[in-house]
Structure 1
Amino acid sequence: MKHLIFSILLLLMFKAEAQSSALAVADSLYIIGNYSKAINEYSKVGGLSAALQIARSYNAVGNYEKAITQYQYVVDEDVENQLAQFELGKLLLKVNRFEDAKSVFTNLSNLNTTNPEFQFYLGEVNRHLDATGASLKQYKKAIDLDSTHLRSLFQLAKHYTIKQERDNALTYILKGLNYYENDVSLINLHALVLFNDAQFEKAIPLFEHVLELGEDKNYVYEKLGISYNKNWEFKKAKEAYAILLKRDDTNSQIYFDLASVYQKESKLDSAKIFINKAMAVQKPIFANGYNQLAYIAREQKDFKNAFKLFERAHKEDTSDALIYYNIATTYDQFGTDLKKKLGYYENFLKDYPNQHPYYYETAKKRISELKEEIHFAKD
């Protein structure tokens, strides 16, 4: 009997050693990225640990359906296995199976209520499902569990920046930057909040810092160009736009913005050149170009030409109430026909009711004055 027990123990020991050896081989293949061979070796070993590694291997080679099947097997066999569920949930999110991912992360959040990552990913799932309120709630829960959770802070800051809720955005931006002052995403959001709030002088050094941190993107130069221009730093504005034009000389908006810089410097001939360049590459609407040329002509007291340019802009874009208002006021400045002046203002009120309240009230006042002038002219 003792010999039998000893033989059984010896057999089990040899089997465990063989299994351990096979697992070591499989692990060594997995570590160096030889995933297909690793899968074969793990299949020989068997067991939940090997199944989890097979799932990870399939995930690594991009065979997501087989990876999900393996993860699901592990989870079904061990419902308390949070690691397998976590990896499964992230994979389901990656392949856009949002409802399935939501089920996994909801379960994880219930299993472990103190893990901020589970709350964050549940927030991510809800964000993709357009359940904004639920996603914000989960991000806030993650921050309650870990006040330094940068990804949750970023998502909240981004949401409130897009909604232009300045104070809420700054609350989460500054919290995040307090923990990691060189987080380029949060610095970028900080700059955008100030930019949207017309605090261009304060936004400039933040956009510049974003560039220093390697975020060499066109939109940063675009915002910097506008900010420099608004802050009367014309040389820097031109430098920013020059960089953009080197990258893309077919973007009409860059030419328009550059023309605005020259116009602000009262270099009107240069402004015209860039407006014409913008119109040369603009497709298909030229309203913006004609409109800006009209403003320059009016600034040069060339009211008749300004009037013609505003009319051309209006033909390109009849939806813009301000363009038609400019037609009326420009003709009012040089025209002699009182009834024609009156007609333009009346058409403005008729075609663009309740748009631009200030201009609407100004037009009504001018109509009263013109009617009075016409009446006295008859007398």
Structure 2
Amino acid sequence: MIERINLAIIASDYKLALHLCDSAIENQHISAELFYKQSIAYRSVYHYKKAYKSIGNALDLNPDNINIRVEFGKVCYALDMLNSADSVFSEIFKFDTTNYISGIYLTRIYIKKKEFDKAFSVFKTLSEMDSLNNYLFRQMGICKIKDKKSKKAIPCFQRAIEIDSTDIKSYEYLSMIYQALEEYDRALSLLNKAIQIESLNSGLYFEIGELHYSRNHHYK
């Protein structure tokens, strides 16, 4: 039965997965794994309260299973129970920093709670394991901007671009920082490089127009 449920979940046929879960429960084939799969199916169709009940049952039967604990954290996050989700993922990540999904959820929680320094710290830990992931470095830069430490964001975005020279968002963020620092030539150079990559991106041309306006206003 579990194998059939797994196949249904893989195929995104959550209605079938839930039907199979209900059938198994009715026939007393109860296990932590069954409730865990039921939670995944409920969460996937946005029935978070039902997922919470299912994963709670799974935890009662197997409280030490990492996958079950991670699923519990995901459901808590979906229900906006940020402190509970924080507690779950922090405990997992503290003892296993290679648990990538826990780290990513922690960053989302900290960003929602506006604890940008904590989010940066987790992104940094993840980047030490996954040093060629430009997304992580870009997010580190965004955390520094939100924490009002824009200058410290510069090397983060530079590293993101080193890893992926087509990372348009990092060009834009860097340009924005240099514009705020009134280093207009650098800001313009970055936007021009971005346009060479995405010549049909109308937003980039708008940003260049805004930059020229700011620079001309500055030098009046």
- Equivalent position of 1:145 in the other structure: 61
Q: Distance in 2 between matches of 1:173 and 1:247?
A: 28
- The answer to whether structure 1 residue 186 and structure 2 residue 186 are counterparts is no
- Equivalent position of 1:358 in the other structure: none
Contact (CA 8 Å) 1:241, 1:258: kept in 2 or not? yes
Structure 1: which 5+ residue stretches go unaligned? 1-84, 303-379
- Following superposition, the deviation at residue 139 of structure 1 comes to 1.9
- The answer to whether structure 1 residue 291 and structure 2 residue 207 are counterparts is no
- Equivalent position of 2:136 in the other structure: 220
- Equivalent position of 2:178 in the other structure: 262
- The answer to whether structure 1 residue 103 and structure 2 residue 19 are counterparts is yes
The one-letter code matched in structure 2 to 1:249 is S
- Following superposition, the deviation at residue 224 of structure 1 comes to 0.9
Q: Distance in 2 between matches of 1:232 and 1:89?
A: 48
Distance 1:98 1:165, change over 3 A: closer
Equivalent residue runs for 1:230-309 within 5 Å: 230=147, 232=149, 234=151, 237-280=153-196, 281=198, 283-286=200-203, 287-298=206-217, 300=218, 302=220
Distance 1:239 1:163, change over 3 A: farther
Q: Between the two proteins, what is the percent identity of the paired residues? A: 15
Structure 2: which 5+ residue stretches go unaligned? none
- Equivalent position of 1:199 in the other structure: 115
The one-letter code matched in structure 1 to 2:58 is A
Contact (CA 8 Å) 1:252, 1:277: kept in 2 or not? no
Superposed CA deviations along residues 185-237 of structure 1, whole A, max 9, x for unmatched, are 212221232234332222222111112233742321110122234453636x3
Q: Which has the higher contact order (CA 8 A, sep 6+)?
A: 2
Distance 1:283 1:168, change over 3 A: farther
- Equivalent position of 1:154 in the other structure: 70
- Following superposition, the deviation at residue 241 of structure 1 comes to 2.2
The one-letter code matched in structure 2 to 1:222 is R
How many residue pairs align between the two structures?
A: 215
- Following superposition, the deviation at residue 166 of structure 1 comes to 3.4
- Equivalent position of 1:118 in the other structure: 34
Distance 1:89 1:252, change over 3 A: closer
What secondary structure is seen at the aligned counterpart in 1 of 2:202?
Answer: coil
- 29, 48, 69: which one aligns with 1:132: 48
What secondary structure is seen at the aligned counterpart in 1 of 2:165?
Answer: coil
CA-based RMSD:
3.1
- Equivalent position of 1:71 in the other structure: none
Q: Distance in 1 between matches of 2:194 and 2:55?
A: 44
Contact (CA 8 Å) 1:224, 1:240: kept in 2 or not? yes
What secondary structure is seen at the aligned counterpart in 2 of 1:198?
Answer: coil
User: TM-score if structure 1 supplies the norm length?
Assistant: 0.48
Superposed CA deviations along residues 21-59 of structure 1, whole A, max 9, x for unmatched, are xxxxxxxxxxxxxxxxxxxxxxxxxxxxxxxxxxxxxxx
